[in-house]
Structures are given as structure tokens and as C-alpha cells.
Amino acid sequence: MTAATQTTRYPIDGWRLVLRRLARQRNVLIGGAIVLFVVFVAVIGPSLMMHSPEETDLFNPWSPPTAQNPLGTDKLGRDILSRLVYGARVSLLVAGAVLAITLTVAAILGMIAGYMGGRIDAFLMRFVDIMLAFPEVVIAILIASMIGSGVLTVIISLALVWWPGVTRLTRSFVLVIREELYIDAAIVAGTPTWAIFLRHLLPNIAAPLLVRASVGVGFIVMAEATLSFLGLGIQEPVPSWGGMIRDGLPALRTDPYLAIFGSLALGITIIGFNLLGDGLRDALDPKLQGR
């Protein structure tokens, strides 16, 4: 081996490898572009709109697309484009909140289950097995009966549905890391368990956990829209894509714009998140390489 090849930093540079793998994935590029656009719209969009999303114009209900209202208006004469753009912000905020709560709970419980093992692990995983894939609408009905419909109901319900899967994922990462020498070294050195959790386990599971959890964002957006569609979620006058589609469906025969544009925005956004998520998982999971 010559000195020249030694100085060339080759594949082990993690991020460059990941980026190169990602760029080769067409799905990641398409999904990433859609997600970037939606995020851009959610952040910048509302300030660019001509109308406020809650501004009603009772003399101009169910307008078809015009120069004034590029995508038409709803039954109260509210601008559909403004509501769609603002709805993107609402969707992403809810998804972010659910993700934050889920990750926190799952990181703690997953570390406990994976590191402690034994009965605690068995009990937690048994519970996770049963809760996994529990229908979110059923939980939302329960929560809505207690505290009424609204953003809080959506966030609580979706967090309750999502934590089991992420907890199991965390546990599987911890099971691998627990066997590492540096954990043994920490134990021998007398490091308290909480410090092992905080300094040795958490930093090592954080990155893969974040990436894998982000795969679920599309489904969280979909679940939020479903609950809002059923009337259990985001309440009027705050715009939500699910609520807009619900309002638009009965008028589909005469004024289809609301339901159709709402469905398109929602569908394309979730496709974007899912393409990006699947691609990320494929690119970062070495076990799936070459499949």
C-alpha cells in the first residue's frame, strides 16, 4: 500500500457513503423533493397568500378557480389555496409533536426493556405486542369521549398508537449495543445505570432511531387526516386536509374542487414521505443491501 492511497480517505467516511447511496435511489430524490416542497410551503407559504385561511366571503361560496381564488372557495367562501397551504403547516406540526412524544417515550421504555431484560422486558414486550397496530380510530373515540375532539385528542391518540412499534425498535438496537465492550467497561468502572443509559446507550441509538422513526411520518400525516376527516381531529375554523375533504365530499357533484384538491395535496404529501422513508431505510440498512 502506497502513501498516496493511505491519505485518500476511503469508504469508511459514513456520511459521504450514505449520501452517495441516497443519490443513487430515485425514490429518495422524488420523495425528498416532495417533502422539501411541502415543508417549504408549510413554513413560508402562509405569509405569501392573498387571503387568510379563515377569511370568509359569504357572497362568494363554492367559487370555481379564478384569478382571485386560484383553486376556488369552499362553502363559506374561504380561499381553498390558503387553507391547503395552512393545512400543510397544521399537518406537519401535529406529526412533529407525535414524533417527539413517541420518540421520548419509546427511547426510555426501549432502553429499559432492552438493557434490563428479564421480567420487565417480558412484560413490556407483551404489552407492546398487543398494542401494536391497534386501530387509531378506536383509541381516538375513547379519548374524544373524555376530552372532546381536537388537536390534543389527535396527538394523544396517535402517540398511543405509535409508541409500541418504536419501543420495540429501540429495544432491538439496545440489545445489540448492550453486548459492546464499552458497556462492560462502563459497568466494571462502576458507572451508575442511569449514566450508562444517558452517555452510552442514548448517543448510539439516537441516529438510527430518528431515521427509522421518520419512515412513519407519512402514516402519522395520514392518521391525523383520517381523524380530522371523521371530525375527531382538528376542528373548524382551523384548516386541516382531512376536514376539507369531509366538507368537500357532499358537494362533489356540483363543486368538486375542495374535495379533489384536498385529496391531491394529502395523497401527494404522504407519497412523498413514504418514498423518502422507504428509500432512507433501504439506503441505511446494510442488511437490505443488494436485494
Residues of this chain that bind another protein (CB under 8 A): 126-127, 129-138, 141-142, 144-146, 149, 218, 222, 225-226, 229-232, 242, 245-246, 248-249, 252-253, 256, 259-260, 262-264, 266-267, 270-271, 273-275, 291
- CB of residue 121 to another protein, shortest distance in Å: 13
Q: In terms of CB distance, is 205 or 245 closer to another protein? A: 245
Q: Measured from the CB of residue 267, what is the shortest distance to another protein in angstroms?
A: 4
Contact yes or no for 167/103 (Cβ under 8 A) = no
CB 84 within 8 A of CB 244: yes
Provide the minimum distance between the beta carbon of 102 and another protein in the complex, in angstroms, as a whole number.
Answer: 17
* Three-class DSSP category at 201: helix
Task: Return the number of other C-beta atoms located less than 10 Å from residue 68's C-beta.
Answer: 13
**In degrees rounded to 5, what are phi and psi of residue 73?**
-130, 165
Closest to another protein by CB, 40 or 134 = 134
If the CB atoms of residues 51 and 83 are measured against another protein, the closer one turns out to be 83
Nearest by Cα to 265 from 220, 233, 221? 221
Q: Give me the least distance between CB of 81 and another protein, in Å please.
A: 18
CA distance 110 to 128: 10
Residue 79 backbone dihedrals phi, psi, to 5 degrees: -70, 120
Nearest to 90 by CA among 264, 242, 256, 253: 242
CB of 176 to another protein, least distance (A): 19
**Residue closer to another protein (CB basis): 36 or 133:** 133
Kindly state the smallest distance separating residue 266's Cβ from another protein, in Å.
5
Q: Which is nearer to another protein, 177 or 271 (CB)?
A: 271
Q: Would residue 62 be called left, alpha or beta, if left means φ above 0 and alpha means ψ between -120 and 50 degrees? A: left
Distances (CA, A) of 35 to 31, 78, 188, 194: 6, 26, 46, 37
Beta carbon nearer to another protein, 135 or 192: 135
